[in-house]
Chains A and B, each alone.
Chain A
Amino acid sequence: MTPLSIAFLPLTDSAPLIVARERGFAEAEDIALSLMRDTSWATARDRLVYGQVQCAHMLAPLAVAVTLGLSQASCPIAAPFKLNDNGNALTLSAELAAALDPDRRARVQDPIATAHDFAAAIGLHRRKPIIGIVHRFSSHALMLRYWLAYAGVDPDRDVTLRVLPPSLMVQALSLGEIDGFIAGEPWSSVAVAEGIGEIAAAGVNIWQRGVEKVLATRADWAEANGETLGRLLRALDRAAAWCDDPANHEELAALLARPDHVGQPAELILHALSGRMPLTQGGEIAALPNFLLFHHGAANFPWRSQALWIYSQFVRWRMVAPGPENERAAAGVFRSDLYRSALAGRGVAMPGASMKVEGALATPLAAASHEGSLTLAPDRFFDGLAFDPQDVEGYLRGLHAT
């Protein structure tokens, strides 16, 4: 058996990694998987970059940022497999949420109206709202910025974004250190269950197919260990399919609830899996069927266009200098080539292309697939804009004009 260590954070979307080990999918590929739980992304990143683990559960934008050297010296990262799509929620204190639509379901289901309401609420709040984000290079932060900017809010000026690890968000909200947070599950559900927050927006309603966590390895490790990586990806593909099956959700929730995994009650973890999210303590439940996706519709396929969307947002928020070199390096983080070589010929739906226009599909579309049948799910952004990966500059001009 090949020993492999993977660093992860206690989040519901670590599920494919945990299931790969606990349900024997890794073992079936002759991999002895050990999982190392961390509390901060910085620690998982360091363990990966300096070789203490071979792979890590990682925020997709962080994988791009590490490759571009945005927070420290550059280390090329390969992301050959997306662990999930979607899964985030914005949770606000009751005080801040009071300025939004009193119909809580409407808030979540109409992100356009809620963005405008939020913009208006900023001036009414007793202080500039402090919103917790898990990392500057997180999908959540990029999504929050995207959503706020739509309503004319400058996220660097009109609100304070404060970085906190996901597991400390609930405490910070209850102490009044922050007025809301955007994070992965189960942390919004925990805040709601404890009666200290209300869910005001769901990632799935901001971008129907939002890129979220990836399996990250060092690019040089991926090159040198192609065969091992291939086996790991096959194990993860089967594990992700298992996670997506509603018949397994109760068992999955119980597995994740274990103290060495996520360590939160199974019934709270189940909310995101079932797509039925209570928005307040004992209150309305919003039906969000694709709140968190692990497998179907080629969710694991690392579209290079999604890495480029991340890059476009880095440029937009002046986190990176625009340029062809950075653009190429960013696109190269998502390794659709490694995904293909690991999973081709195994009945896994395999897109014919490695890039697509993001946000262009309003209805499901049967797509060209080398094998299996592939239906691409609707992937629209809430504002109706589409991202053409061939024209990042034009896309950014369009965003500024709105």
Chain B
Amino acid sequence: MRIAIIDDSGLRATILEEGLRDAGFDEIEVVPAHGAFVARLERMAPDVVLINLGNANRDSLEEMLAVSRALARPIAMFVDQSDDGMIGAAIDAGVSAYVVDGLRKDRVKPVLELAIRRFNAFSKLQTELAAARTELAERKTLDRAKAILMRNRGLAEPEAYALLRTTAMKQGRRIVEVAEALITAADLFGDER
């Protein structure tokens, strides 16, 4: 079974390709969605095309699937239109699939299930990465605010931190918000770090 992967995210495409290879599929091509990607797909004549749902080129792809003479058999979206549960899961995960007509459902299903799992794992990874980035940024903000207090009020680090924390508690705000406000104020007063 020849599988084409088109994805805005190169990283996600790689993750999906790896998963498919591990599962024993070996005719896989990752096709970048720009320039002559339609011509490349026509040459490859895939049985299944996996493309991220929000990809800007889906209308072009569907047009190609509708008119292409290079593909002997028409391609329809998703495995089986009656399988609403799976289609819903695919859309929630952000993946869409085009499958050549006549390909048996039981052969395609594992491909789509795997794509859904990998897409979900990828977005979880993205969320975690974003959370880690936020945490790092917040720690930096906190460090800057502490440094300002230590310098301007002659506090030791634990005292500076305690002051930020009690202020946050009194105002019902997050400690990082208090730190940001302090940094802004210090900037306005011309405090150079």
Number of A-B contacts (CB under 8 A): 59
User: For B58, what are the chain A residues with a Cβ–Cβ distance below 8 Å?
Assistant: 40, 42-43
- Chain B count of residues within 8 A CB distance of the other chain: 21
B186 at interface, CB cutoff 8 A: no
Which of A158-166, A205-213, A369-377 lies at the interface with chain B? Answer: A158-166
B62 near A71 (CB under 8 angstroms)?
yes
- Docked CA distance A39–B87 (Å): 20
From B56, B66, B81, B84, give the contact of A71 (CB < 8 A).
B66
A40 near B91 (CB under 8 angstroms)?
no
Which residues 99-156 of A sit at the B interface, judged by CB distance below 8 A?
A: 134-136
| Minimum C-beta distance from A359 to chain B (A) | 29
Name 11 interchain pairs, CB-CB below 8 A, sorted by A: A40-B56, A50-B87, A51-B88, A52-B91, A134-B59, A135-B59, A135-B63, A136-B66, A163-B60, A163-B62, A165-B56
B59 near A164 (CB under 8 angstroms)?
yes
Q: A43-B55, A72-B77, A163-B62 are in contact. List 15 more A-B contacts (CB 8 A).
A: A39-B55, A40-B54, A40-B56, A42-B59, A46-B53, A50-B88, A50-B91, A51-B88, A52-B92, A134-B59, A135-B59, A163-B59, A163-B63, A164-B60, A165-B57
Given A39-B54, A165-B57, A167-B56, do A46 and B62 touch, yes or no (CB 8 Å)? no
Scan A158-192; emit 1 where CB is below 8 A from any B CB, else 0: 00001111011000000000000000000000000
- Docked CA distance A72–B101 (Å): 11
B56 near A39 (CB under 8 angstroms)?
yes
Count chain A CB atoms within 10 A of each CB in B81, B84, B88 and give the residue with the most: B81
User: For A52, what are the chain B residues with a Cβ–Cβ distance below 8 Å?
Assistant: 91-92
Count chain B CB atoms within 10 A of each CB in A41, A135, A163 and give the residue with the most: A163
User: For A72, what are the chain B residues with a Cβ–Cβ distance below 8 Å?
Assistant: 76-77, 81
User: For B92, what are the chain A residues with a Cβ–Cβ distance below 8 Å?
Assistant: 52
- Docked CA distance A50–B87 (Å): 7
Which residues 32-88 of B sit at the A interface, judged by CB distance below 8 A?
A: 53-63, 66, 76-77, 81, 84, 87-88
User: For A38, what are the chain B residues with a Cβ–Cβ distance below 8 Å?
Assistant: 54
B91 near A47 (CB under 8 angstroms)?
yes
B76 near A46 (CB under 8 angstroms)?
no
| Minimum C-beta distance from A21 to chain B (A) | 21
From B54, B60, B63, B66, give the contact of A43 (CB < 8 A).
B54
User: For B54, what are the chain A residues with a Cβ–Cβ distance below 8 Å?
Assistant: 38-40, 43
A401 at interface, CB cutoff 8 A: no
When C-beta atoms are compared, the residue in chain A nearest to B67 turns out to be A136
B59 near A41 (CB under 8 angstroms)?
yes
- Docked CA distance A72–B82 (Å): 12
User: For B55, what are the chain A residues with a Cβ–Cβ distance below 8 Å?
Assistant: 39-40, 43
* Interface residue ranges, A against B (CB under 8 Å): 38-43, 46-47, 50-52, 71-73, 134-136, 162-165, 167-168
From A50, A134, A164, A167, give the contact of B84 (CB < 8 A).
A50
When C-beta atoms are compared, the residue in chain A nearest to B52 turns out to be A43
B53 near A136 (CB under 8 angstroms)?
no
- Docked CA distance A162–B57 (Å): 12
| Minimum C-beta distance from A133 to chain B (A) | 9
Given A43-B54, A46-B53, A71-B66, do A165 and B88 touch, yes or no (CB 8 Å)? no
Q: Which 4 A-B residue pairings sit nearest by Cβ, starting from the closest?
A: A163-B63, A73-B81, A42-B58, A39-B56
- Docked CA distance A256–B175 (Å): 36
Count chain A CB atoms within 10 A of each CB in B56, B84, B91 and give the residue with the most: B56
User: For A136, what are the chain B residues with a Cβ–Cβ distance below 8 Å?
Assistant: 63, 66
| Minimum C-beta distance from B130 to chain A (A) | 18
| Minimum C-beta distance from A162 to chain B (A) | 7
- Docked CA distance A165–B34 (Å): 13
User: For A164, what are the chain B residues with a Cβ–Cβ distance below 8 Å?
Assistant: 59-60
- Docked CA distance A72–B65 (Å): 11
| Minimum C-beta distance from B167 to chain A (A) | 34
- Docked CA distance A259–B91 (Å): 25
B88 near A168 (CB under 8 angstroms)?
no
User: For A71, what are the chain B residues with a Cβ–Cβ distance below 8 Å?
Assistant: 62, 66
B62 near A42 (CB under 8 angstroms)?
yes
- Docked CA distance A167–B55 (Å): 12
| Minimum C-beta distance from A74 to chain B (A) | 9
When C-beta atoms are compared, the residue in chain B nearest to A156 turns out to be B67
| Minimum C-beta distance from A163 to chain B (A) | 4
- Docked CA distance A72–B81 (Å): 9
- Docked CA distance A397–B133 (Å): 65
A46 near B66 (CB under 8 angstroms)?
no
User: For B57, what are the chain A residues with a Cβ–Cβ distance below 8 Å?
Assistant: 40, 165
- Docked CA distance A163–B57 (Å): 9
- Docked CA distance A95–B101 (Å): 42
Which residues 9-53 of B sit at the A interface, judged by CB distance below 8 A?
A: 53
| Minimum C-beta distance from B9 to chain A (A) | 15
- Docked CA distance A52–B88 (Å): 8
User: For B91, what are the chain A residues with a Cβ–Cβ distance below 8 Å?
Assistant: 46-47, 50, 52
| Minimum C-beta distance from B55 to chain A (A) | 7
| Minimum C-beta distance from B132 to chain A (A) | 25
| Minimum C-beta distance from B35 to chain A (A) | 8
- Docked CA distance A47–B94 (Å): 10
Count chain A CB atoms within 10 A of each CB in B54, B84, B87 and give the residue with the most: B54
User: For A46, what are the chain B residues with a Cβ–Cβ distance below 8 Å?
Assistant: 53, 77, 91, 96
